[in-house]
Amino acid sequence: MIKFKEFLAEHWVTTDSPKEKSHYANAIHDMLSSSYHSVGGYGGLGSGTDKEKEAIHQDIHHPDHIIKLKKRKGVPHAVAIYKKHHGKKLIAAGTNGTDQGKADLHRMVKDDNHDKRAWGEVSHAMEHLFKKHGHPEIPNQEAGKLTGKEIVQHNPDNSYDRTLGDGKLHTKRLMGHLGNHWKSKS
């Protein structure tokens, strides 16, 4: 059984406060940078580049973005960044690389599906997590309207291809729960 002091030290932080965002900015940056390293860097901007660092910090500090962070004994283990866009759109997520951090991110994704409160444009590890935790797929024909991005190709498996910051085509998939106001215009 967990001790009461340990219980108090383990909690979620959900904030749009500039002060709290600044407090956790370096830890969030490190988690996102390392989590996106194997897929060409955050936003396809190249792992460890100045462009990547700038993009991560812009997303952290954006006044309309919400940060959800899992801390244990004061140490951030997992993070998700959301923006209000056709409901609550997950725009980035990562962990500190530990098994506990990965379990915490699983919990975030599972809870978002259970509560039907978020959607995202996913690929790689996040696509796997969304599928594992039962998020519904959103038809790829909606990708252009939902993301505001040019879609190069709609694939038969409900994924689609679009260009990211590196100028290369990447395969993505829409999954999750759109806000109640969203109505397909197709």
pLDDT digits (tens, 9 = 90+) for 105-123: 999 999 999 999 999 999 9
Q: Are strands 65-72 and 160-163 parallel, antiparallel or unpaired?
A: unpaired
Q: Give Dmax (Cα) for the chain.
A: 54
| Domain total of the chain | 1
Average pLDDT value for residue range 26-48: 94
Please indicate, yes or no, if residue 94 is contained in any of the structural domains: yes
What domain range is 146 assigned to? 4-176
Residue 106 lies in a domain: yes
> Which CATH number do you get for residue 133?
3.40.630.30
Q: How far is CA 51 from the centre of its chain?
A: 19
Query: Nearest Cα to 180, choosing from 114, 86, 64?
Result: 86
Mean pLDDT of the chain: 92
Q: Which amino acid is at 155?
A: N
Looking at residue 118, its pLDDT comes to 96
In a domain, 130, yes or no: yes
In a domain, 183, yes or no: no
Q: Compute the average pLDDT of residues 42-59.
A: 94
Is 181 a member of any domain?
Answer: no
Q: How confident is the model at residue 87 (pLDDT cuts 50, 70, 90)?
A: very high
Specify if 186 maps to a domain: no
Banded model confidence at residue 67, pLDDT cuts 50, 70, 90: very high
Which class for 12: exposed (0-12), middle (13-18), buried (19 or more C-beta within 10 A)?
Answer: middle
pLDDT at 11 over 70: yes
174 compared with 11, residue with greater pLDDT: 174
Q: How does residue 26 score in pLDDT terms, banded at 50, 70 and 90?
A: very high
Residue 183 has pLDDT above 70, yes or no: no
Question: Which band of pLDDT confidence, cut at 50, 70 and 90, is reported for residue 168?
Answer: confident
pLDDT at 48 over 90: yes
Q: How confident is the model at residue 10 (pLDDT cuts 50, 70, 90)?
A: low
pLDDT, tens only, 135-144: 999 999 999 9
* Domain assignment present for 114: yes
52-66 average pLDDT score: 97
Split at pLDDT 50, 70, 90, the class of 186 is very low
Q: Residue 184: inside a domain, yes or no?
A: no
115-133 as b/e, with b when 16 or more CB fall inside 10 Å? eeebbbbbbebbbebbeeb
